[in-house]
Protein backbone atom coordinates (compact mmCIF):
# COMPACT_ATOMS: atom_id res chain seq x y z
CA UNK A 1 0.00 0.00 0.00
CA UNK A 2 1.34 3.43 -0.96
CA UNK A 3 1.54 6.53 1.21
CA UNK A 4 -1.69 7.92 2.58
CA UNK A 5 -2.82 11.09 0.77
CA UNK A 6 -3.79 12.74 4.07
CA UNK A 7 -1.95 12.51 7.39
CA UNK A 8 -5.04 12.72 9.63
CA UNK A 9 -6.52 9.36 8.53
CA UNK A 10 -5.94 7.59 11.82
CA UNK A 11 -7.51 10.34 13.90
CA UNK A 12 -10.49 10.88 11.59
CA UNK A 13 -11.04 7.21 10.84
CA UNK A 14 -12.99 6.60 14.05
CA UNK A 15 -15.74 9.25 13.60
CA UNK A 16 -16.07 8.43 9.90
CA UNK A 17 -16.42 4.72 10.66
CA UNK A 18 -19.08 5.51 13.26
CA UNK A 19 -21.06 7.57 10.73
CA UNK A 20 -20.69 4.82 8.11
CA UNK A 21 -21.94 2.27 10.67
CA UNK A 22 -21.97 -1.18 9.05
CA UNK A 23 -21.53 0.09 5.49
CA UNK A 24 -18.49 -0.97 3.55
CA UNK A 25 -15.88 1.75 3.04
CA UNK A 26 -13.34 2.10 0.22
CA UNK A 27 -10.04 1.48 1.98
CA UNK A 28 -7.42 0.97 -0.71
CA UNK A 29 -4.44 2.88 -2.10
CA UNK A 30 -4.31 5.06 1.02
CA UNK A 31 -7.95 6.15 0.76
CA UNK A 32 -10.59 5.75 3.45
CA UNK A 33 -13.89 6.90 1.94
CA UNK A 34 -17.59 6.23 2.34
CA UNK A 35 -17.71 5.07 -1.26
CA UNK A 36 -18.48 1.92 -3.19
CA UNK A 37 -18.89 0.57 -6.69
CA UNK A 38 -22.42 -0.74 -7.29
CA UNK A 39 -21.33 -1.50 -10.86
CA UNK A 40 -17.83 -1.24 -12.36
CA UNK A 41 -18.91 2.10 -13.88
CA UNK A 42 -21.19 3.42 -11.11
CA UNK A 43 -19.81 4.83 -7.85
CA UNK A 44 -22.05 5.69 -4.90
CA UNK A 45 -20.43 7.85 -2.26
CA UNK A 46 -21.14 10.03 0.72
CA UNK A 47 -21.25 13.81 0.39
CA UNK A 48 -17.81 15.33 -0.43
CA UNK A 49 -17.53 17.76 2.48
CA UNK A 50 -15.34 20.67 3.45
CA UNK A 51 -14.60 22.22 6.83
CA UNK A 52 -15.74 20.58 10.06
CA UNK A 53 -17.93 18.09 8.19
CA UNK A 54 -14.74 16.36 7.02
CA UNK A 55 -14.59 14.88 10.50
CA UNK A 56 -17.52 12.58 9.70
CA UNK A 57 -18.08 12.81 5.93
CA UNK A 58 -15.84 12.28 2.91
CA UNK A 59 -13.26 15.08 2.65
CA UNK A 60 -13.83 16.78 -0.70
CA UNK A 61 -10.10 16.99 -1.45
CA UNK A 62 -9.75 13.24 -0.89
CA UNK A 63 -12.71 12.51 -3.20
CA UNK A 64 -11.12 14.74 -5.85
CA UNK A 65 -7.83 12.88 -5.52
CA UNK A 66 -9.59 9.50 -5.67
CA UNK A 67 -11.47 10.38 -8.87
CA UNK A 68 -8.39 11.92 -10.50
CA UNK A 69 -6.28 8.88 -9.63
CA UNK A 70 -8.73 6.10 -10.49
CA UNK A 71 -10.74 7.72 -13.32
CA UNK A 72 -8.76 10.70 -14.68
CA UNK A 73 -10.96 12.85 -16.95
CA UNK A 74 -13.46 9.99 -17.19
CA UNK A 75 -15.80 10.67 -14.27
CA UNK A 76 -18.99 12.69 -13.94
CA UNK A 77 -20.44 13.57 -10.52
CA UNK A 78 -24.20 13.68 -9.91
CA UNK A 79 -25.17 15.61 -6.77
CA UNK A 80 -28.62 14.69 -5.41
CA UNK A 81 -28.48 17.00 -2.35
CA UNK A 82 -31.36 19.46 -2.13
CA UNK A 83 -29.90 21.82 0.48
CA UNK A 84 -28.40 25.00 -1.04
CA UNK A 85 -25.32 24.69 1.20
CA UNK A 86 -24.62 21.27 -0.37
CA UNK A 87 -24.37 22.71 -3.87
CA UNK A 88 -20.87 23.49 -5.11
CA UNK A 89 -19.13 24.76 -8.21
CA UNK A 90 -18.71 22.21 -10.99
CA UNK A 91 -15.09 23.42 -11.24
CA UNK A 92 -14.36 21.38 -8.10
CA UNK A 93 -14.70 18.23 -10.20
CA UNK A 94 -13.22 19.62 -13.43
CA UNK A 95 -16.59 20.93 -14.69
CA UNK A 96 -18.25 17.52 -14.58
CA UNK A 97 -21.07 17.97 -12.03
CA UNK A 98 -24.83 17.94 -12.45
CA UNK A 99 -27.30 18.71 -9.65
CA UNK A 100 -30.53 16.75 -9.26
CA UNK A 101 -31.95 17.97 -5.93
CA UNK A 102 -33.92 15.31 -4.05
CA UNK A 103 -35.29 16.09 -0.59
CA UNK A 104 -33.66 13.97 2.13
CA UNK A 105 -35.44 10.69 2.89
CA UNK A 106 -37.66 11.09 -0.19
CA UNK A 107 -37.73 9.64 -3.67
CA UNK A 108 -37.17 11.72 -6.80
CA UNK A 109 -39.95 12.72 -9.16
CA UNK A 110 -40.44 10.57 -12.23
CA UNK A 111 -39.17 13.39 -14.46
CA UNK A 112 -36.03 13.73 -12.33
CA UNK A 113 -35.38 10.00 -12.69
CA UNK A 114 -35.89 10.08 -16.45
CA UNK A 115 -33.64 13.10 -16.92
CA UNK A 116 -30.94 11.62 -14.68
CA UNK A 117 -31.06 8.27 -16.50
CA UNK A 118 -30.81 9.96 -19.90
CA UNK A 119 -27.86 12.12 -18.87
CA UNK A 120 -26.06 9.28 -17.10
CA UNK A 121 -26.57 6.96 -20.07
CA UNK A 122 -25.30 9.61 -22.50
CA UNK A 123 -22.09 10.02 -20.44
CA UNK A 124 -21.57 6.27 -20.06
CA UNK A 125 -22.28 5.61 -23.74
CA UNK A 126 -19.71 8.20 -24.85
CA UNK A 127 -16.77 6.06 -23.71
CA UNK A 128 -16.22 2.64 -22.18
CA UNK A 129 -13.87 4.32 -19.68
CA UNK A 130 -16.50 6.75 -18.40
CA UNK A 131 -17.88 6.30 -14.88
CA UNK A 132 -20.49 8.17 -12.89
CA UNK A 133 -20.21 9.07 -9.20
CA UNK A 134 -23.49 9.62 -7.36
CA UNK A 135 -23.87 11.27 -3.99
CA UNK A 136 -26.35 12.86 -1.66
CA UNK A 137 -26.37 13.42 2.08
CA UNK A 138 -28.33 10.22 2.76
CA UNK A 139 -27.45 7.39 0.39
CA UNK A 140 -30.86 5.65 0.42
CA UNK A 141 -32.20 7.94 -2.33
CA UNK A 142 -29.26 7.01 -4.54
CA UNK A 143 -29.98 3.31 -4.33
CA UNK A 144 -33.54 4.01 -5.45
CA UNK A 145 -32.31 6.07 -8.41
CA UNK A 146 -29.73 3.41 -9.26
CA UNK A 147 -32.32 0.61 -9.12
CA UNK A 148 -34.48 2.47 -11.63
CA UNK A 149 -31.56 3.14 -13.95
CA UNK A 150 -29.88 -0.26 -13.75
CA UNK A 151 -31.91 -1.53 -16.68
CA UNK A 152 -29.64 0.50 -18.99
CA UNK A 153 -27.26 -1.69 -20.95
CA UNK A 154 -23.77 -0.74 -19.69
CA UNK A 155 -21.36 -3.07 -21.48
- By annotation, the residues acting in catalysis are 136
Alpha carbon distance 83, 30 (integer Å): 31
CA-closest candidate to residue 80, choices 137, 41, 23 = 137
Cβ 88 vs Cβ 78: under 8 Å: no
Query: Are the C-beta atoms of 96 and 71 separated by less than 8 Å?
Result: no
Q: What angle do CA 69, 31, 76 make, to 5 degrees?
A: 45
Query: What's the number of CA atoms in the CB half-sphere (13 Å) around residue 35?
Result: 25
**Which value, in Å, is the radius of gyration of the alpha carbons in the chain?**
15
Amino acid sequence: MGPRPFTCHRVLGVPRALVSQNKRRFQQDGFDLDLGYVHPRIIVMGYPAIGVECLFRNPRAEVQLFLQKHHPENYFVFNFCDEPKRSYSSAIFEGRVKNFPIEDHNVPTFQTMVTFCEEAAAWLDASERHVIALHCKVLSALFFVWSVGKSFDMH
